[in-house]
């Protein structure tokens, strides 16, 4: 047995345990760091060539691995801009130079320019809705841009689409009176409903919808501008109907069997397309069970909402939502082999595989949880146990080196 080999093995063991204690120190120090992934040390044997009747000690090979794929516990907060990934994937973030990185640290707040920045100074990146529904760049982080919240001014949206689904009473008799028109003061109609729509400037426009049964299974739907009605009455109106449509039904099933949409030009606004496809003609009372119109009055942004699919919405005072950005998630084939950099960020390398992007919920990517942060995956009790083990093993290896050194002194003394 080589005394030099014995001493070398002792040094190798001390170096390995020193690496282990260093990772324990990092883990304990970052146990409260959002999104931090613990470090671990793996040992393998180092064997040197041995003769048949003697043994040359080798040592250990130390490999430090970060447990990036192991998820930490979710901690819920009071801020909707705190984000966590529930499952696989990483947020894409950028630095001041525009370089892209990956992270699990989602404690974002707006800066003075409206950019969402985390505690390490990296900006959340995503795809803007300015040019329509965003599409992901599957193999690169560079197609993203910094999420900015400076385009959330007061806005008004004109009405363009609406649902008007009602039940037309099948037992209602047909009307023999003239249909609603501008010059009939006492026009008859079967049922009436009113709908609120919005013009180009967000002004309210009330529309009166008249439904008159003209024959078996046949109804005339006429829409008037309520502003043209006589004070305190329905008719006469100062102008004719904005739009009319004949709706017919199958007398057996009660389902529509003809045209089911009506295009209504909203005064000072856009053309509003009413969808009546879900209407019925059954032996029941007149019921308006799904009447809705899009658009909104002028409103300011009240708060920001981030959905599980990564869509960043501006929520206005009237509770309408407008999508601003969509946040993607990045992943690699081997997350535990990513290169870790200061600021709790990661970059891909040859061992981890190439970056792949997708929207939350797609393939093996997780979802985004708003109002939550992912805590570190460090277990303090486990780290303290490792510290004790490392300390004892370091001491034992130092004893091996010390013994080898003492035997070497004996050998040198014999020579003298």
Residue 321's alpha-carbon distances to 129, 293, 307, 324, 379, in angstroms, are 13, 14, 11, 10, 41
Q: What are the extents of the domains in the chain? A: 3-67+377-415, 74-154+301-374, 156-298
How far apart CA 109 and CA 91 sit, in angstroms, is 15
> Contact, 272 vs 161, CB < 8 A?
yes
Q: What is the CA radius of gyration of the chain?
A: 36
Q: Which two tokens stand for residue 179?
A: 């249909």
Q: pLDDT 10s per residue in the chain (416 long)?
A: 577 778 888 888 899 999 999 999 999 999 999 999 999 998 888 777 766 667 777 788 888 899 999 999 999 999 989 999 999 999 999 999 999 999 999 999 988 888 999 989 999 999 998 888 888 888 888 789 999 876 566 778 899 999 999 999 999 988 766 565 555 555 678 888 999 999 999 899 999 999 999 899 999 999 999 998 877 767 788 888 899 999 999 999 999 998 889 999 999 999 999 999 989 999 999 998 889 999 888 877 777 889 999 999 888 777 778 888 999 999 999 999 999 999 999 999 999 999 999 999 988 899 999 999 999 999 999 999 999 999 999 999 899 888 888 888 887 787 66
pTM (2 d.p.): 0.66
Q: What pLDDT is recorded for position 183?
A: 54
Q: Which residues contact residue 353 at a Cβ distance below 8 angstroms, ignoring those fewer than 6 apart?
A: 332, 333, 334, 337
| Nearest alpha carbon to residue 27 among 19, 35, 18, 36 | 36
Tokens at 132, concatenated: 């329509």
Q: Are 313 and 305 in contact (CB under 8 A)?
A: yes
Share of the chain above pLDDT 70, in %: 93
**DSSP letter string over 42-100?**
EEEEE-----TT-----EEEEEEEE-TTS---EEE-S-TTBEEEESS-EEEEE-TT--E
Q: Distance between CA 366 and CA 377 in Å, rounded?
A: 17
Backbone angles phi, psi at 14, to 5 degrees: -65, -40
Neighbour tally for 283: CB within 10 Å: 10
Res 150: pLDDT:
66
DSSP codes, 177-226? SPPP-TT-TT---SEEEEEEEE-TTS-EEEEEEEEEEEETTEEEEEEEEG
- The tokens describing 39, both together, are 């470090």
| pLDDT of res. 31 | 93
Task: Work out whether the CA dihedral 92, 93, 97, 99 comes out positive or negative.
Answer: negative
Total residues belonging to the chain: 416
134 class by beta-carbon count within 10 Å (0-12 exposed, 13-18 middle, 19+ buried): buried
* CATH fold for the domain made of 156-298: Tick-borne Encephalitis virus Glycoprotein; domain 1 (2.60.98)
- Number of CB atoms found within 10 A of residue 392's CB: 11
What was the pLDDT predicted at 177? 63
How many angstroms separate the CA atoms of 204 and 216, rounded?
A: 36
């Amino acid at each position: 047995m080589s005394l030099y080999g014995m001493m070398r093995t002792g040094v190798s063991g001390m170096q390995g345990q020193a690496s282990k204690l260093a990772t324990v120190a990092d883990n304990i120090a970052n146990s409260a760091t959002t999104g931090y992934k613990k470090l671990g040390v793996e040992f393998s044997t180092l064997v040197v060539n041995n003769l048949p009747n003697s043994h040359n000690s080798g040592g250990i090979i130390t490999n430090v691995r970060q447990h990036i794929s192991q998820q930490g516990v979710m901690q819920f907060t009071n801020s909707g801009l705190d984000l966590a990934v529930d499952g696989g994937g990483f947020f894409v973030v950028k630095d001041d130079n525009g370089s892209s990185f990956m992270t699990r640290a989602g404690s974002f707040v707006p800066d003075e320019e409206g950019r969402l920045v985390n505690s390490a100074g990296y900006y959340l990146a995503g795809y803007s809705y300015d040019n329509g529904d965003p599409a992901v760049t599957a193999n690169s982080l560079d197609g993203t841009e910094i999420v900015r919240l400076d385009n959330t001014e007061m806005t008004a949206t004109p009405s363009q689409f609406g649902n008007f689904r009602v039940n037309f009473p099948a037992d209602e008799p047909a009307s023999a009176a003239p249909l609603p028109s501008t010059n009939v003061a006492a026009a008859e109609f079967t049922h009436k409903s009113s709908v609120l729509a919005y013009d180009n400037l967000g002004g309210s426009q009330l529309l009166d919808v008249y439904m008159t049964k003209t024959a078996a299974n046949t109804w005339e739907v006429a829409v008037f501008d309520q502003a043209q009605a006589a004070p305190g009455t329905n008719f006469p109106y100062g102008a004719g109907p904005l739009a009319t449509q004949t709706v017919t039904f199958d007398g057996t099933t009660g389902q529509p069997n003809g045209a089911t949409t009506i295009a209504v030009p909203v005064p000072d606004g856009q053309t509003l397309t009413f969808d009546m496809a879900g209407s019925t003609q059954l032996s029941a009372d007149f019921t308006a069970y799904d009447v809705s119109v899009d658009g909104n009055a002028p409103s300011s942004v009240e708060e920001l909402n981030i959905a599980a699919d990564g869509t960043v919405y501006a929520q206005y005072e009237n509770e309408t939502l407008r999508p601003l950005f969509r946040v993607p998630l990045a992943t690699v084939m081997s997350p535990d082999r990513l290169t870790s950099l200061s600021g709790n960020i990661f970059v891909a390398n040859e061992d981890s595989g190439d970056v792949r992007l997708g929207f939350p919920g797609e393939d093996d990517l997780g979802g985004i949880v708003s109002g939550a942060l992912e805590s570190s995956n460090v277990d303090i009790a486990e780290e303290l146990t490792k510290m004790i083990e490392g300390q004892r093993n370091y001491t034992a290896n130092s004893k091996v080196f010390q013994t080898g050194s003492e035997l070497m002194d004996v050998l040198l003394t014999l020579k003298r």
